Amino acid sequence: MSPRLMLVTAGRVLRQVRHDRRTLALLIVVPCVLMGLLAWIYADTPVFDSIGAPLLGMFPFLVMFLVTSIATLRERQSGTLERLLTLPLAKADLVGGYAIAFGALATVQALVAGTFAVYALGLDVAGQDWLLIVVAVVDALLGTALGLFLSAFAATEFQAVQFLPAFVLPQFLLCGLLVPRDRLPDVLHWASDVLPLSYAVDAMRTITVDASAGADVAKDVAVILGFVLVLVGLGAATLRRRTD
Amino acid sequence: MLKNPPVGQPAIRVEGLRVVRGGRTVIPGLSLEVPHGQVVGLLGPSGCGKSTLMRSIVGVQKVAGGVVEVLGLPAGTEPLRHRIGYLTQAPSVYTDLTVRENLAYFAAVVGTPRSGIAHEVTWVVDMVDLGSHVDASVGALSGGQLSRVSLAAALVGAPDVLVLDEPTVGLDPVLRRDLWAIFRRLAADGATLLVSSHVMDEAVRCDRLLLMREGEFLADDTLAGVLASTGAADAEQAFLALVDQARDRAAAGGTTTSEVSS
């Protein structure tokens, strides 16, 4: 493993995105538009203030999951992955490079969406505003890590795109947004305990209702970061130099 | 650039290589030795196992049996990755980056120090004659230019062994001649090249030919040797004659020609 090669790889991935202006614009603008739409739907009701924060965590997660899945799949299909695997690049350098590059994009995206939600849309939570943004960044990182790991199992674009309904929507159903997790049937409650998105929504809910819940939020953030590390590690471990 | 090849040790050694893909035996048992500095042409129709053999040599192919060594080390092992250049059959570069950005990235990956990257990029870009397109986006290049960018990416870091899968396919005759001149120059500098093609007339450019069909070598000789032994006028006719001979032998003896250079 070489930090230099990891950074060089991250630089290359960011350069690719920079050449794709429309993707860059979509990455930054879409979560803001969705938050704006949400605020508009619930105008003159208190609902936006109660579900705005959890969804602020959800949108960057979804977008980064998709973008990362497709980017790594493209690397594999273009033959560049096969070339890289014959070169002195550790698997961790490649996966780490992707994680750094998309992590940086995710950070910008979550910062912009969070700032927009709080200052332009007036999202009002009990806890500190900056905590919202921190959790949104961590959620976006989680999307990147999940995309990096799962795309290893997608052989085609069709499969990669369907991993969203297959692996992300169940987490959305169980994360406590539709029915609070403690009111789910036991089996589903246990399942939701091991799904990372549950912790993202828990953290955002805590910030929404509790003015002094820094410690609880920190615990959730630590769990999510743990998932990120494990998923990135698994992503590197499941990459095979030799294929059929 | 000559890196003192160890005396007596071949650049590439393959012994009893067996590859099974999707339940089908693609290579039943191949053996091969390539000495340093040789330009070896691997010729045969599409689907005969050329790419599979090359992937085994660069260490990205799962193999079912046998030994594959490059520069005395097991294929695909870490110390070899600085010393082997691999050109995949389909161009494998980033189409959304410029030529320079692509080559600078691959140069960094093979360990070129930061201060030497610009120089390395200029060197390979000149070699494949893409100097005027160095800041063009690769996606905007023609098919021939795209394959040259991919070739340039295999040449960064001046590897000791180059495994080139159909580097000249689809290129015009002038460009093909120029590329073969590059390959000869690299070999003169001490590199070892294994170059595949399904175009038999590339045979005249190689020091040695491996004619391959259905995962086996029909011949392993110089062009002159192949022509003399078959009485054919060119490589293509020689190949056809060898295929006929193998078929006759199989029909007569009921055995296949799997005992290759043992």
- A72-111: pLDDT as tens digits: 899 988 899 999 999 999 999 999 999 999 989 989 999 9
Nearest CB partner across the interface for A15, out of B59, B93, B101: B101
Selected for mutation to probe chain B from A87, A93, A241, A244 (highest B CB count within 10 Å) is A87
The verdict on a CB contact (< 8 Å) between A87 and B137 is no
The verdict on a CB contact (< 8 Å) between A86 and B93 is no
Q: Which amino acid is at A162?
A: Q
The verdict on a CB contact (< 8 Å) between A243 and B78 is no
The verdict on a CB contact (< 8 Å) between A82 and B105 is no
Nearest to residue A121, comparing CAs of A204, A38, A214? A38
Where residue A170 falls among pLDDT bands split at 50, 70, 90?
very high
The verdict on a CB contact (< 8 Å) between A80 and B82 is no
Q: Which amino acid is at B133?
A: H
A193 burial type by CB count under 10 A (0-12 exposed, 13-18 middle, 19+ buried)? exposed
The verdict on a CB contact (< 8 Å) between B88 and A89 is no
How many distinct helices (H) and strands (E) make up chain A?
11, 0
Check residue A117 and report its DSSP letter: I
Q: How many whole angstroms separate alpha carbon A224 and alpha carbon A197?
A: 8
The verdict on a CB contact (< 8 Å) between B97 and A15 is yes
Alpha-carbon Rg for chain B, nearest whole angstrom, is 19
Closest approach of chain B CAs to the CA of A14, in angstroms?
10
Using the predicted structure, report yes or no on whether residue B246 has a pLDDT greater than 90: no
Check residue B27 and report its DSSP letter: E
The verdict on a CB contact (< 8 Å) between B76 and A88 is no
Count of residues making up chain A: 244
Q: How many whole angstroms separate alpha carbon B236 and alpha carbon B206?
A: 14
Using the predicted structure, report yes or no on whether residue A224 has a pLDDT greater than 80: yes
Q: Does B64 touch chain A (CB under 8 A)?
A: no
The whole-model pTM stands at 0.90
B14 burial type by CB count under 10 A (0-12 exposed, 13-18 middle, 19+ buried)? buried
Closest approach of chain B CAs to the CA of A140, in angstroms?
24
pLDDT digits (tens, 9 = 90+) for A172-212: 999 999 999 999 999 999 999 999 999 999 999 999 999 88
Nearest CB partner across the interface for A241, out of B60, B63, B92: B60
Tell me which chain B residue has its CA closest to the CA of residue A82.
B60
pLDDT digits (tens, 9 = 90+) for A107-134: 999 999 999 999 999 999 999 989 998 9
- Contacts with A86 from chain B: Cβ below 8 Å: 58-60, 76, 81, 84, 86
pLDDT digits (tens, 9 = 90+) for B7-25: 568 999 999 999 999 899 9
Q: What's the whole-number average pLDDT of chain B?
A: 90
Q: What's the pLDDT score for residue B1?
A: 46
The verdict on a CB contact (< 8 Å) between A244 and B92 is no
CB B76 within 8 A of CB B58: yes
- Contacts with A91 from chain B: Cβ below 8 Å: none
Nearest CB partner across the interface for B110, out of A12, A78, A87: A87
Q: How many whole angstroms separate alpha carbon B145 and alpha carbon B138?
A: 8
Mean pLDDT, range B163-179, rounded to an integer: 89
Using the predicted structure, report yes or no on whether residue A238 has a pLDDT greater than 90: no
Mean pLDDT, range A39-49, rounded to an integer: 93
Q: Name all contacts of A221-227 with Cβ < 8 Å and 24+ positions apart.
A: A221/A134, A221/A135, A221/A138, A223/A196, A223/A199, A224/A138, A224/A139, A224/A141, A224/A142, A224/A196, A224/A199, A224/A200, A225/A138, A225/A141, A227/A142, A227/A145, A227/A196, A227/A199
pLDDT more than 70, % of chain B: 94
Per-state percent for chain B, helix, strand, coil, to nearest 5: 40, 25, 35
Nearest to residue B192, comparing CAs of B158, B217, B151? B158
The verdict on a CB contact (< 8 Å) between A85 and B60 is yes
Q: Taking each helix axis as running N to C, give the angle between helix A129-150 and helix A196-209, from 0 to 180 degrees, rounded to the nearest 10.
A: 170
B131 burial type by CB count under 10 A (0-12 exposed, 13-18 middle, 19+ buried)? exposed
- Phi first, then psi, for residue A183 (nearest 5°) are -105, 5
Tell me which chain B residue has its CA closest to the CA of residue A74.
B94
Alpha-carbon Rg for chain A, nearest whole angstrom, is 18
Using the predicted structure, report yes or no on whether residue B144 has a pLDDT greater than 90: no
A141, B18, B191, B257 from B32: Cα distances, Å: 49, 13, 17, 16
Interface residue ranges in chain A relative to chain B, Cβ cutoff 8 Å = 4-5, 8-9, 12, 15-16, 19-20, 78-80, 82-89, 241-244
SS3 at position A7: helix
For residue B13, what are the β-bridge partners? Answer: B33, B69
The verdict on a CB contact (< 8 Å) between B93 and A241 is no
Q: Taking each helix axis as running N to C, give the angle between helix A214-237 and helix A129-150, from 0 to 180 degrees, rounded to the nearest 10.
A: 20
Q: How many whole angstroms separate alpha carbon A50 and alpha carbon A235?
A: 35
- Phi first, then psi, for residue B35 (nearest 5°) are -75, 165
Query: Tokens 């060197």 appear where?
Result: B123
Tokens representing A135 are 């959790």
The verdict on a CB contact (< 8 Å) between B78 and A242 is no
Nearest CB partner across the interface for B109, out of A5, A78, A82: A5
For residue B68, what are the β-bridge partners? Answer: B14
The verdict on a CB contact (< 8 Å) between A88 and B108 is no
pLDDT more than 90, % of chain B: 74
- Contacts with A19 from chain B: Cβ below 8 Å: 96-97, 137
For residue A183, what are the β-bridge partners? Answer: none
Mean pLDDT, range B83-110, rounded to an integer: 96
Q: Which amino acid is at A224?
A: I
Q: What's the pLDDT score for residue B257?
A: 46
SS3 at position A10: helix
Residue B83 host element (H or E): none
Using the predicted structure, report yes or no on whether residue B254 has a pLDDT greater than 80: no
User: What are the start-end ranges of the H helices in B42-127?
Assistant: 50-58, 99-109, 117-127
* CB pairs < 8 Å spanning A and B: 78
Q: Name all contacts of B47-50 with Cβ < 8 Å and 24+ positions apart.
A: B48/B212, B48/B213, B48/B214, B48/B215, B49/B19, B49/B212, B49/B214, B49/B215, B50/B165, B50/B196, B50/B198, B50/B212
Q: What's the pLDDT score for residue B7?
A: 57
| Maximum alpha-carbon separation in chain A | 59
Residues 6+ apart with CB under 8 A from B12: B32, B33, B34, B57, B69, B70, B161, B192, B194
